[in-house]
Chains A and B, each alone.
Chain A
C-alpha cells in the first residue's frame, strides 16, 4: 500500500496546480494519473486565460461577464473568486516562464473573446493550454513531486456511513497499467479528483479519447452528487470530420462565419446583432445548426469560418497552430480558403458538486477543474474561463486538502436542508443500477463494516482485484467498444444542441440497454501487461453512469437556459429554474434534487435578458 498526505488523481492543469499548492503547503503529495502528465487534455486548449490584468478592466467586470455568460446559473461566490484570483495566478504562470504572446513593450498580450466586455484573454499563440500544461509539469519536476503515471484509478475508498455527508474518503485503488498490479493508495489528508471532462459520452467531440468522466463517476458512486450535468457546451467551431477544435481565437482576431449562400448569418439573420461571431458559444452553435437545418449549410452539414482577410502575417503570429490543424485534419489551407466548421461537444459546465474550496460533501474528497462544478460556469462557459478555473480552483483545493485555512465556504454541497426534491417528471426507465449488477460480477459498492482505514483500503483493493479477475476470466459476452459506440450515438442523436422530451427519453432507454449489456461485458485481452482493453472496459462503465446523469438533468430541466435548449419550453424560466440540478447515486437508486443558485456575492447579479 502506498501512503501520502494528499493524492491528486489526474495530471492536467487542475491536478498539477493542486499538487504544487498542496506541496507548497507542506503536504507529502503524489499525483496518480492514467496518462503521463504532458499527455493530459489541458494541452489541447487553444484560446487563452481570462484575467483582469489591465487598466480599464477589473475583476468585477470579469465576474459580471461570467455571471451573464452563465445565464445566471453560476454561483456568485464562485464567479467572484475566479475573477479575483485569476490575475495573480496568470502572472504566477508568467513567473514560472510560460511563453505568453507579447506586446511591443514586452508585456503579455490579451485579446477579445466571446462574451467578454474587455479584451482580457491572455494567450500563448493558439496553443495556450499546451504551454500551461508543460509549464506546470516543469514546476512539478522542479519540486520533485511524486508522479505515478500510467496508473489507472479504479475506485475511491470511503467508509460506508449511511449519509454521504458523514462519509470520509481515505484513498483510492489503482492499477499500474504497465504491470497490471492493483494497489491501494492511502491519503491521510485528502483525495483531489482532477480527471477532466466526460466528452467521450458523445461521438462528435473535441475531447480526447481519455476524457471518460472517471472522476465524475467515482465520486458519484461514492455518494457525492453530480451538479448541472445537462449543461454541455457544444463548441461552434470544430472540424466536421474529426471534431478537432478550431480556437475561438480565430473569431477573436476577426474571423467571420458564412453560410452556404455566403451570408454573414450571425448578423444577417439577427442571431447576435451586436457581437456577431463573438456572441457566447451556445448562441453561435445554435445559429450554425439553425442555418444547416434551414438549408443554408454547406453540404447540409457545416458552415464556413474565414480568416483569410486577417493576412498571413497576423495569422502566423497569433493563429499558426490553426493552420496546422486545418491542414492536417481537414486538408484545408486556412490561408487560401475558408475552413469548414460545425458544433462539437466541447465542455461540461456541470460536474462533481463542490464548494469554492474544492470540497465535496464527503470529508476529504475534493474535485477541481472540468470534473468539478463549483459552479463558475452555470449554464454556459465563456471561452477563456476554463484555464483560469484550473489554476484558481486547483490551487484552492490543493491548499485546503493540505490543511490551509481558506475560511468557511459560502457554497453548500450535498443533500441538505436547503434542497428541494424533484417530484414532477416521470422517468421512462429505472435509472441507476437498482436490480442490476453493473459492477462486473462484484457485490454493490460499500459492502463490509470495517471502520479501520487500512482494512477499508485492503477490502477495496480486494474488490477491484476480484472485478478484474472476473472481467478477464470471462470468455465471451459483449465487448466494451460495442456498448460505448451505442451510448455515444444515442447521446449525440438525442441529447445534443437541440433537445426534446421525446428524444431524451429515447436516450435514457438506450442508456438502460447499455447498462444491461454491460452486465455481460468481458475483456478479451488475456494479458496483464498494458491491458488497454481492461482500462477501457472500466471507462465505459463510468461513461454509462455519467451519460445517464446528463440525460436525466436534460429531461427534468424543462426550460431554455445557456447551452440547454428544450423544444417544449424555449424560454428561460427564472421563476422556476434559478436552481441547480443535483443527482446523487443513493446506492444505485438515483435521487434528483435542486439547490437555489446564489446570485448574491460581494455584488448582486440580477438576471437580465442575455443578448449579444
Chain B
C-alpha cells in the first residue's frame, strides 16, 4: 500500500537542470541557504512571532493493519501548542506524548544524522527533525514516505531500500595495504574533497521515495545506492580494477542509465548531496571505460 496522494500543492516549477559541470561554484553552505530562502518564499512562511501562543494544526496519516478503525487509512487532526523553534518531529512527539500514545513514527537523534524520520510533509520528503513548523503552511500534512509499504502510521518498510544499498557492495575493497600496522594509505585532500559529499548519506531514503523511476522500476538501484557506489568508485585509495568492477555494478540494466535527471532526489536530500550529478558522473565514467551500454 502506498500513500501517494494528490499533492496539496505543486512544487514550483524547477529551474531547468543546468549542466552539472556548471553547478557547484558556490560553497555548499551558500547553496543551501539560498535554496532555503527559495523554499521559504514557496511556502509563504508564517512569521514565527505570529505563531507565538498559537496552536499548530497537524493532519497526520494513520494506518494499522491490525487495529479496527485504523485498517482503512485515515488522517487524524492534532492541535499542538506552538513553541519557538518547533520542528515537525517536536510536533508529532508532542501529539504522541500528550494526545495519542499509539501515534507511531521512527526517530532517534533529533539532529539529522540518524536518518530515521524522513516523512512526506506538505507534499515533500523531509526529515521531521530538520523541518521548522514556522516554515510550513497549515494544516501541516504529515504522511509516510510515498512508494514504500506502510507498516503503521508514519513507519514504512525499509527492507527494499536496505537491499538496494547492499547490492552495490557498499564496503571498501582494497587488498593491498601499506606495510606496517600503523601506516595509513595516502589520500590527497582533493580526492577526499571529491568524495566528501557522497559520504554524508544518512540512509533516510527520502531520495528513493522522491524518484519516479524507482517508483516504476522496483529493481532500480536508486539514488542512494548509486551514490554509495560513487563514494567508493571515486575514492583513489581503491585500485582501478575494483573501480571497474563497481562501474559494472552501476551500469547494469537497473542502474545509472535509468536516471532521467529529474533532480527530484537532489532536491529532497537533507544532506545536500548532489545525487543527480554523481549519477551523471558515473554514466560518463562508464562510457569512458567502454562498458556495455543499455
Interface residues of A (CB under 8 A from B): 35-36, 38-41, 43-44, 53, 87-88, 91, 94-97, 99-108, 125, 127, 130-131, 134-135, 138-139, 141-142, 178, 208-210, 241-245, 312, 316, 320, 323-325, 327-331, 333, 335, 479, 481, 485, 523-533
Contacts and interface: CB of A to CB of B under 8 A. Distances in A.
A456 to B, nearest CB: 31
B187 A102 contact: yes
Contacts of A36: 158, 162, 203
A329 B114 CA distance: 15
Interface string B89-104: 0000000111011101
Given A91-B184, A529-B65, 4 more contacts: A43-B114, A208-B108, A210-B108, A324-B32
B64 A527 contact: yes
A38 B203 contact: yes
A107 B149 CA distance: 45
Interface string B192-218: 100110011011000000000000000
A530 B152 contact: yes
B181 interface: yes
Interface string B10-28: 0000000000000000011
B57 interface: no
Contact of B184 (A35, A107, A127, A320): A107
Given A97-B237, A208-B108, A138 B64 contact: no
B111 A99 contact: no
Contacts of B185: 94-95
A209 B107 contact: yes
B101 A533 contact: yes
Given A106-B186, A242-B110, A316-B29, A101 B102 contact: no
A243 B129 CA distance: 13
B187 A43 contact: no
Contact of A96 (B67, B98, B172): B172
| 9 nearest A-B pairs in the assembled complex, by CB-CB distance | A97-B172, A106-B186, A525-B102, A138-B171, A142-B171, A481-B97, A39-B114, A533-B101, A208-B108
B170 interface: yes
B66 A39 contact: no
Contacts of A38: 114-115, 202-203
A97 B65 CA distance: 42
A43 B108 CA distance: 11
B125 interface: no
Nearest to A207: B109
Nearest to A96: B172
12 contacts: A39-B116, A91-B183, A102-B189, A106-B187, A138-B170, A241-B85, A324-B29, A329-B111, A481-B101, A529-B66, A530-B152, A530-B155
A242 B111 contact: yes
A208 B111 CA distance: 9
Contact of A527 (B67, B111, B189): B67
A104 B203 CA distance: 31
Interface of B: 27-29, 32-33, 64-67, 70, 84-85, 96-98, 100-102, 104-116, 130, 151-152, 155, 158, 162, 166, 170-172, 174, 177, 181-189, 192, 195-196, 199-200, 202-203, 232, 235, 237-238
B245 to A, nearest CB: 14
A203 B238 CA distance: 45
A106 B28 CA distance: 24
Nearest to B235: A97
B113 A43 contact: yes
A518 B225 CA distance: 45
A532 to B, nearest CB: 5
B67 A40 contact: no
A527 B114 contact: no
A38 to B, nearest CB: 5
B152 A527 contact: yes
Nearest to A533: B101
Contacts of B151: 178, 529-530
A91 B199 contact: no
Contacts of B232: 97
Contacts of B238: 97
A525 B100 CA distance: 8
B125 to A, nearest CB: 16
Contacts of A139: 171
B6 to A, nearest CB: 27
Nearest to A530: B152
Contacts of B85: 241-242, 329-331
Contacts of A328: 112, 130
Contacts of A532: 104-105
Contacts of A99: 187, 192, 195-196, 199, 235
A44 B182 contact: no
Contact of A530 (B104, B166, B187): B104
